Chains A and B, each alone.
Chain A
Amino acid sequence: MSLPFQVVVLWSDALFFGLITAVVMLGMCTRRQAPLRQSWARVASDKVAMVSATILAAFLFVGVLDSLHYRAQLDAVPGQAVAQKINYAVEVNSLLDVLLAPLRLHPEKTYSAPLATHLFSKEPLPGSIERGFPRLAWGGGHLGKALEHRTIDIVQRSALGAAGGLLLWLMLVSAMRLRFNRHNHVIDSAEKIPNGTQSAGAGNAARKTSRRAASHAAMLTLLVLFLIMGITMALGSGYHVLGTDKVGQDVLYLSLKSIRTGLLIGTLTTLVMLPMAVLLGILAGYLGGWVDDVIQYLYTTLNSIPGVLLIAAAVLMMQVVIDTHPDWFATSAERADARLLALCLILGMTSWTGLARLLRGETLKLRELEFVQAARAFGVSHFAIMQRHILPNLMHIVLIALVMDFSGLVLAEAVLSYVGVGVDPATISFGTMINAARMELARDPMVWWSLAAAFTFMFILVLAANLLTDAVRDAFDPRTAA
């Protein structure tokens, strides 16, 4: 069997997919527990939360597409027709790269404005001594000499793209409606029997209406996303929709590639810190005594080092390790990947302390409650008590902390990359984009599109995460949950 490509599973891909599987499995588990299901139902009947969740799902989709990596097979060299060994390209690409091939493979010479047909800066024109704005190689190249048709062309393409997006959305909605209706029917017939009292029926009806409104909002968000996607795709096949950066790379491509980096840092970091925070927090709170002293000392010490400096110191050190061992990594993608993972590890090491302290405090309270005392009186082992009686009662804190950390980490990545201790400079991320474009507003005339794209994408991602966090906290925090 010879595939025309070699599948590459980077470490971060494996961890990312592992994390997604774990979350899905956790979700299946919570379906069986009534209180948790009720909390999630509260989230699902919140309009803002559903809109944010839809947007986050779109970001996640891009991230997943960008995590399926492969190395293309190189064409056999004519002279070596009998060579048995198949050579693969050094470059590691992802599925997203394939989908965005028109954007990726048509770089310009330097800056060009969004949807432009000419370069942004004056250069000596070929075949003449005058300086002017040369035509772009890709942007509007299909127009040929008929530049006056550009506006019409853009409108036509947008309309076509919007129509395509609408069509796709309609298909999706009707497919979902078919499924949803059947599902709804089953629920209705199931709920008719136990509902004896009038008030419970009324409450259910109210919940159902708010849930329906929330799902309608999510559908509308989906429509907007589909329209944007359709229009961008239609325009992207002939123009650089968000312009090009200093070395002529398409800004839209860079922005979409940055999403994976942001998602990875936001999620893998929590994967690192979670076991440590939960284990140490519960141990300190439950066992007390010298264990508590040691763990408290550990996190006070770690906490007292200024976060950015600890990260900077650790990243500088890691840099030296990676630079002195160039033979560890086969491709530059693997090296960048190792550095990304190391950054997640370091961020995780510095950020577990807050959650651990919260969990310790909560465990101290839980330890004295009657059910734990009873379990102890029955002779249940310490480990079993911690696992069966303490941990489930801490899950809402863990969940809230996880969702809250995500947006902070996405923002932190940009700052760290700007300071120079973030991801590998070869990794495309919001931070590296902003860092590369930091001087562009000072140019005259200024170049605004790289910065605007990076900040807008980051803002939407973080805002959606923050709004979802609020809803999740309201639903799961026992103090606010009704």
Chain B
Amino acid sequence: MYQCTNASPSRGGSVYFAPMLAYIIRRLLYAVPILLGVNLITFVLFFVVNSPDDMARMQLGIKRVTPEAIQKWKAERGYDQPLIWNATAVGSAGMAHLTETVFFNKSMRMFAGDFGRADDGRDIASEIKHRAWPSLAIAVPTFILGLGVAIAFALLLVFFRATRLDFFGVVLCVAMMSISGLFYIIGGQWLVAKVWHWVPISGYATGLTAAKFLVLPVFIGVIAGLGASARWYRTIFLEEITRDYVRTARAKGASESAVLFRHVLRNAMIPILTGVVAVIPTLFMGSLLTESFFGIPGLGSYTIEAINAQDFAVVRAMVFIGSVLYILGLLATDISYTLADPRVSLK
């Protein structure tokens, strides 16, 4: 998708942005077949492996369920149409064969932002709009702080590379990676909220009072992700530190810290940033575990509740949104390459 060229550094703004725009549009068009594929997979999972009849029986209880009750359940939720091809439909130009089906009404409508209703009758789209904010309130600070702390820790290890501190730092990273995420949450809640009484154990509020509910989940999120990311950044830094320009900088007499901060850090930011950009859109989805443990009414806990209640409409909607955000993340990664590294140009 991108290509290295020796483009001249004096590119004008219009020369620079026109191909970029064309590239973005083309990538967005590429996304359509992928989303169609996602839809098809979820459709097969939800409707073909288990027919709507099975779902109705599951929801109404396996035994003692009359065919009428199943029909009523399906009609209420719009599952009473044929799955993918409606042979009996009459409409203009035969399109009704395709449109009056479960696949069109349940899966294709999601492209227009119409997610239908959850089993409790609430509109999924508006629910998602409301719940995205608490998710972001946790995910964004966790992301930014986590990135900062991990980079700082990795830099520290690289500064003291091949010493005891470095060795024990790496061992600490591996140990932290080996601890279950559940332990961080359960242990953190117990220690900080129950033993020390610093913050409430769980809950959520709007406005500034939300801060006291957010501190602990954000802190735990940062700690839980530290081991893996710090180790990863350390290898990036170490790879960068063997380059020629670093030797040149040292030969000029630059101090070790100047080499690290002025040269290595800046160049290592290219792989780090481009690796991290893909995550940014998915921050909307929230974290399943954190939100459900801390009782935060975000999209993560919404998903968990839907899974536990076997609310297929909500799970389907979340799968679709997650895929859209992932594809946006891929696009953002490619664009960030060109912005961070002038040697890369989009084709």
Contacts and interface: CB of A to CB of B under 8 A. Distances in A.
Interface of A: 297-298, 300-306, 308-310, 312-314, 316-317, 320-321, 323-324, 407, 411, 414-415, 418-421, 430, 434, 438, 441-442, 446, 451, 455, 458-459, 462-463, 465-467, 470
A316 B315 contact: yes
Given A305-B41, A317-B49, A419 B174 contact: no
Given A301-B41, A309-B303, A313-B42, 10 more contacts: A304-B323, A304-B326, A304-B327, A306-B326, A411-B181, A414-B182, A421-B307, A441-B190, A451-B186, A455-B179
Contacts of B35: 304
Contacts of B182: 414-415, 418, 434, 455
Output the residue of A305, A419, A465 with the most chain B CB within 10 A: A305
A321 B174 CA distance: 40
B271 to A, nearest CB: 16
Nearest to B324: A304
Contact of A306 (B50, B181, B319): B319
A306 B55 contact: no
A459 B178 contact: yes
Interface in B297-336: 303-304, 307-308, 310, 312, 315-316, 318-319, 322-323, 326-327
Interface in B6-50: 33-35, 37-38, 41-42, 45-46, 49-50
Contact of A305 (B49, B292, B323): B323
A370 B183 CA distance: 51
5 contacts: A324-B57, A324-B58, A407-B177, A462-B178, A465-B178
Contact of A301 (B34, B174, B285, B289): B34
Given A420-B307, A441-B194, A455-B183, A313 B285 contact: no
A297 B33 contact: yes
A116 to B, nearest CB: 21
Interface of B: 33-35, 37-38, 41-42, 45-46, 49-50, 54-55, 57-58, 62, 174-175, 177-183, 186, 189-190, 194, 201, 282, 285, 288-289, 292, 303-304, 307-308, 310, 312, 315-316, 318-319, 322-323, 326-327
Contacts of A407: 177-178
Contacts of A316: 307, 310, 312, 315
Contact of B288 (A304, A324, A419, A467): A419
Nearest to A439: B186
B34 A297 contact: yes
Nearest to B327: A304
A297 B233 CA distance: 30
Contacts of A301: 34, 37-38, 41
Given A297-B34, A305-B323, A438 B186 contact: yes
A62 B229 CA distance: 33
B178 A302 contact: no
A470 B326 CA distance: 30
Contacts of A324: 54, 57-58, 62
A441 B186 contact: yes
B153 to A, nearest CB: 18
A301 B11 CA distance: 36
Contacts of B326: 303-306
A323 B174 CA distance: 41
Contacts of B62: 323-324
Nearest to B181: A415
A260 to B, nearest CB: 18
Given A304-B327, A305-B319, A316-B310, A458 B49 contact: no
B292 to A, nearest CB: 8
Contacts of A317: 45-46, 49-50
Contacts of A306: 282, 285, 318-319, 322-323, 326
Contacts of B282: 306
B280 to A, nearest CB: 15
A415 B310 CA distance: 18
Output the residue of B33, B37, B312 with the most chain A CB within 10 A: B37
B225 to A, nearest CB: 13
Contact of A309 (B55, B175, B318): B318
B33 A310 contact: no
A304 B57 CA distance: 31
A430 B58 CA distance: 28
A419 B318 CA distance: 16
Contact of B307 (A304, A312, A446, A466): A312
4 A-B pairs with the lowest CB-CB distances in the bound complex, closest first: A306-B322, A301-B37, A463-B178, A462-B178
A305 B288 CA distance: 15
A302 B45 CA distance: 13
A463 B174 contact: yes
Contacts of A313: 42, 45-46, 315-316, 319
A135 B15 CA distance: 84
A458 B181 CA distance: 11
Given A309-B322, A317-B49, A420-B307, A300 B34 contact: yes
Given A297-B37, A306-B322, A418-B289, A466 B178 contact: yes
Given A297-B33, A466-B174, A320 B186 contact: no
Contacts of B194: 441-442
A297 B35 CA distance: 11
Nearest to B48: A317
A323 B297 CA distance: 31
A276 to B, nearest CB: 15
